[in-house]
Structure 1
């Protein structure tokens, strides 16, 4: 919502978020003056001044890093834009923001990532492996759960794509993938579609159904009305909606640039490859029993990623930091 409001207010120019993030950091840092905490936790892009203040008090710093590296995203976005004749995308980060993030990573004692994919990217760029921890996100299976599905013979395969209406989310590749399938699939897009991609939508022989952003209960009901979810992302550190879809009993098709765990490596297709998506959807369209079977497998798999599992793994990180820091004042 905040992102959409900013786009409306600053629709004729690109907003630089860094000054606002720095103001937040300074305010947060002031709150540490009277803190006796041992560990400071902050999110990427708004941690620098907070970490500096924490280090002065002898605290250990944990950085929650939620993004795919900007240089990687810049490269794949440029390649995808060229392939589809789209305008050259702007850089994901300004030089100032790049430097800001580098300083945050240097001050962090531990950097938390939400997937092994994300961790591997950052280690490959030179971030020390010993400070990098990958802890997958969770899904609440008391809320996200499957309902009974029925399939009528002769109906098209119901394919869902949630929040993928941009180049970074891979929408052009999804449209290219469903085109050869024609009436065999019924594609529904949930969420806003970037204006630059509207011509591609108009040219697609499979005209999607459009639905607006949904509340959590609405999204759960929608997922339970579908047969497969596709995430054609060019770069996603996790991809939570894929985990939510699996919890609802849907098989998913995700790319190798999407960090969400899947039950079988075959569920992951090469990024920037529409033919691989077409092939997976063709399999499901031709074998609905397989789709249902893999949906049950997905539901059992997602149940492993419980909130308690996430809490336990985070506790281990914090406990290790406290035990390793012999200079920290006792409780």
Structure 2
């Protein structure tokens, strides 16, 4: 039998201590603003059968969700759910984070690094030539950008780039429509999407279909001298194939925010390669102030009998 703490709902935080410290009060305050009182605890504080919702983040101690028989939903603080979606004990609805702050952060990071590549900023900011060399870049209307992934983040980034004037192509597994963006879908259209990518932006989630998607064969489809900006998942690109493409000049530069192993090992060749910029997974951080509102909104919806938002499709892994 479920036991609630008075009229309060029971939230179990399956997170690391630092994440608990950062998010707990913001989430409880967001719930209070919706007239929902909640008791927040960690594993061991609340009996599994009394847990109403689990707030989840990578690194939390719970890996077996079977005992939580009355839990109405597992609410992820992160957009990526690849590390939990395949858990066979997870039978509760799983909701990923779709958050205005996360979306805005990703758009700003992608636009910033695409413009950096487009304008050749490193030439003057980092290299500082000792000669008066007036290198005039093309206009955005003359530059083709391809965005791999047209989900919440990919569509927002593609839209922002199109509004700046770039000729944007978007590619996704299933058909999508994004205003101002040429949208392609499916494996058969991937070569076409890559062939026009003077700048390639990776914003795909990690699924069995996207792991190693950009291998040597597909990198060879890019226009010679293209630039890669990857903020989706590190498993999208085969590391060795990317280094080979950089060494040959097939790819001119790669700015990477995500990696197969994080932090990047100190002996990884990315650190010393002149054609790689390492960004330490900061492109789209979840921010407590905005993410708390999304968690509270989903709890309110569940408590009032409304459908949950952003429920993960287990067959698609996102």
TM-score (norm 1): 0.29
- TM norm structure 2: 0.30
More helix, by proportion: 1
